[in-house]
């Protein structure tokens, strides 16, 4: 079984743009999530992991909030991309290599991952490096 292309697009719009799916799902009315949080990982957090699993820990690291709107994300067909580069804080200490990224629901903690995957190329992080995920990066729902 698989989802139809239309429903894949609807699902991505619900998650990334807070657009309801008629007769199926609405964005929370009382306190909807307004941002999604992007994290970097030193290894695959896996399907059983959470955003803290293998999360980067260089000095000054923090997850980056991206608005859960069409201003933050562009949904086209069955894929989604950030509208701007996702710039992480510059490292002020520590060295590590970010190999994966995830999108979740909170700025910190062991919170649920909505999507995760390998970066197209690892990011070598050391003092003075500000990791970035480019706006052309995509997530595909299929």
pLDDT in tens, 7-27: 999 999 999 999 999 999 998
Within-domain flag for 63? yes
Within-domain flag for 140? no
Q: Which domain holds residue 33?
A: 5-133
Within-domain flag for 142? no
Within-domain flag for 15? yes
Within-domain flag for 91? yes
Within-domain flag for 12? yes
pLDDT in tens, 105-139: 999 999 999 999 999 999 999 999 999 999 999 99
Number of domains present in the structure of the chain: 1
In three-state form (DSSP H/G/I as H, E/B as E, the rest C), the secondary structure along the chain is CCCCHHHHHHHHHHHHHCCCECCCECCCCCCCCCEEEEEEECCCCCCCCCCCCCECCCECCCCEEEECCCCCEEEECCEEEECCCEECCCCCECCEEEEEEEEECCCCCCCCEEEEEEEEEEEEECCCCCCEECCCCCEECC
Within-domain flag for 138? no
Please tell me the pTM assigned to this model: 0.95
Within-domain flag for 18? yes
């Amino acid at each position: 079984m698989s989802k139809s292309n239309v429903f894949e697009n609807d699902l991505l719009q619900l998650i990334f743009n807070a657009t309801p799916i008629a007769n199926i799902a609405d964005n929370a009315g009382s306190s909807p999530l307004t941002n999604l949080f992007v994290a970097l990982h030193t290894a695959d957090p896996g399907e059983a992991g959470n955003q803290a699993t293998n999360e980067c820990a260089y000095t000054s690291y923090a997850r980056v909030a991206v608005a859960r709107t069409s201003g933050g994300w562009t949904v086209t067909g069955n894929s989604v991309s950030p509208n701007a580069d996702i710039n992480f804080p510059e490292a002020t200490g520590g060295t590590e290599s970010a190999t994966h990224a995830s999108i979740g629901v909170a700025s910190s903690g062991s919170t649920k991952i909505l999507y995760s995957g390998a970066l197209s190329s690892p990011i070598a992080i050391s003092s003075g490096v500000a990791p970035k995920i480019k706006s052309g990066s995509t997530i595909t729902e299929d």
